[in-house]
Amino acid sequence: MKQLKILWITGCIVLLDQISKWIIKSTMSLHESISVLGDFFRITYIENPGMAFGIRFGDNIFFTVFALAASVVILVYLFKMKGEHIFARIAMASILGGAIGNLTDRIIRGKVVDFLDFEFFDIEIPSFHFIFVDFPGYSLTRWPIFNVADIAVTVGMIILFIFVLFEPEGKNTGEEKNTTLIQ
């Protein structure tokens, strides 16, 4: 039962995500934008039928099935991590919460509600030719609009990356420490 405590993080993320999306849907019109900090931060209500950052390479059924499968895999892995370091478990619980938050939108609405609209910096990659391939280039003048679930997935991935990068081998579970001391 102790390993279920980490799912409180997941549940809180899903709840916060769904409440924030409900508030946006019930108080704003689609594509309406409210300036909070000038042009730097706005609340802009959009519905995203694609993946993160509006990437599309399939239909809603594909994204829903993919998100459902990913959520199940993460949940199973989270249960198998019961002896792992708390930061790794928090990271996975955050990723799961974000995945379930956006999956809930896909199932209920067919699209994900996004509303956090920031102007960070412009990205400009000019088109170029490399070997036998022409790259068309890329331009980003405003950061893609996102939501609480996206923040949870991103923060979870950053925590997981830092944990994996800096966690010494064999130091992640108490079980491994005990067997090392016994030998």
pLDDT tens digits, one per residue of 82-121:
777 889 999 999 999 999 999 999 999 889 999 999 987 7
Residue written as token pair 């950052």? 53
pTM over 0.75: yes
Nearest to 103 by CA among 132, 74, 81, 138: 74
Tell me what pLDDT residue 180 has.
43
Nearest to 144 by CA among 109, 116, 124, 125: 116
What tokens appear for 87 in the block?
A: 């930061």
Give the Cα separation of 26 and 19 in Å (integer): 10
175 or 165, higher pLDDT: 165
Burial label for 147, CB within 10 Å (0-12, 13-18, 19+), is buried
Q: Which among 17, 105, 117, 150 is annotated as catalytic?
A: 150
Tell me what pLDDT residue 51 has.
65
Is 114 designated active site?
yes
Distance of CA 177 to the CA centre of its chain: 32
Q: Which among 17, 105, 114, 117 is annotated as catalytic?
A: 114
Q: Where are the alpha helices (DSSP H) in 28-147?
A: 60-80, 86-109
Weakest-pLDDT range from 37-46, 54-63, 131-140: 54-63
Is 105 designated active site?
no
Q: Model confidence at 179, in pLDDT bands (50, 70, 90)?
A: very low
Nearest to 91 by CA among 18, 30, 163: 163
* pLDDT (average), residues 148-157: 96
Q: Residue 173 pLDDT more than 60?
A: no
